C-alpha cells in the first residue's frame, strides 16, 4: 500500500504510526519506565512523562468500552455511510483508541465489554483501523460477526 495519500505535514511519530497501518499493522507505544501503553503517538509517556518508550505491535483483539451510532453526518462526505458506528476500544495490550465499528448486523446493538477484533481495511486508498464484534468470546478461531 502506498503512503502517497498521507499528508506531508505529519510529525515523525504520526508518520511512523500511519506508515505501519499502510503496511497492515497497528502499532502503539509502551513506556520503558512505567510500562503504560498509549495511542495516539506522542513523544513522551502520558503517565510518567519520560521519553523512553518503544513501539509494539497490537495483537488485534480488544474490548468495546463505548460506542455511538451516527444517523446524521457531521460532514457531507460522510452522508453515504449513514448510519455508521464509532467505538472506543481498549486493546488487550492496554491502549485505547477510537475507530469505526463494522459488521454489526441489522438492529443488533453491541454491548460494553464485548470482544472486538481488528481489521486494517482500505478506505479510498488509505488503510485504516476498523473493529468488528468477535463471534465467539474466544481468541482461537475468532471471526467477525457479519464477515463473509
Write down the domain spans for the chain: 8-57, 59-148
pLDDT score of 38: 98
C-alpha dist (Å) from residue 137 to 12, 59, 80, 113, 143 = 37, 15, 32, 11, 10
As a whole number, mean pLDDT of residues 58-64 equals 98
- If one compares 138 and 44, the residue with the highest pLDDT of the two is 44
**Position of cell 448510519?**
83
As a whole number, mean pLDDT of residues 78-84 equals 86
What share of the chain has pLDDT > 90, as a percent?
A: 63
pLDDT score of 34: 98
CA distance 44 to 30: 10
- Judged against a pLDDT cut of 70, whether residue 30 lies above it is answered with yes
pLDDT tens digit sequence for 86-106: 999 999 999 999 999 998 765
∠ CA 69-139-126 to the nearest 5 degrees? 50
Fold that domain 59-148 belongs to in CATH? OB fold (Dihydrolipoamide Acetyltransferase, E2P) (2.40.50)
Question: Where does the pLDDT of residue 136 fall: very low under 50, low under 70, confident under 90, or very high at 90 and above?
Answer: low
As a whole number, mean pLDDT of residues 26-30 equals 98
pLDDT tens digit sequence for 62-77: 999 999 988 898 888 8
- pTM for this model (two decimals): 0.83
Amino acid at each position: 500500500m502506498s503512503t502517497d495519500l498521507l499528508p506531508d505535514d505529519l510529525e515523525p511519530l504520526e508518520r511512523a504510526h500511519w506508515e505501519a497501518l499502510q503496511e497492515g499493522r497497528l502499532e502503539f507505544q509502551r513506556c520503558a519506565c512505567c510500562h503504560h501503553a498509549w495511542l495516539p503517538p506522542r513523544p513522551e509517556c502520558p503517565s510518567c512523562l519520560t521519553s523512553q518508550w518503544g513501539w509494539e505491535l497490537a495483537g488485534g483483539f480488544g474490548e468495546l468500552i463505548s460506542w455511538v451510532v451516527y444517523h446524521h453526518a457531521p460532514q457531507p462526505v460522510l452522508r453515504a455511510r449513514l448510519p455508521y458506528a464509532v467505538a472506543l476500544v481498549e486493546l488487550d495490550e492496554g491502549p485505547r483508541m477510537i475507530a469505526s465499528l463494522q459488521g454489526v448486523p441489522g438492529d443488533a446493538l453491541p454491548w460494553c465489554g464485548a470482544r472486538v477484533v481488528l481489521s486494517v481495511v482500505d478506505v479510498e486508498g488509505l488503510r485504516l483501523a476498523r473493529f468488528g464484534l468477535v463471534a465467539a468470546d474466544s481468541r482461537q478461531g475468532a471471526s467477525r460477526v457479519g464477515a463473509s
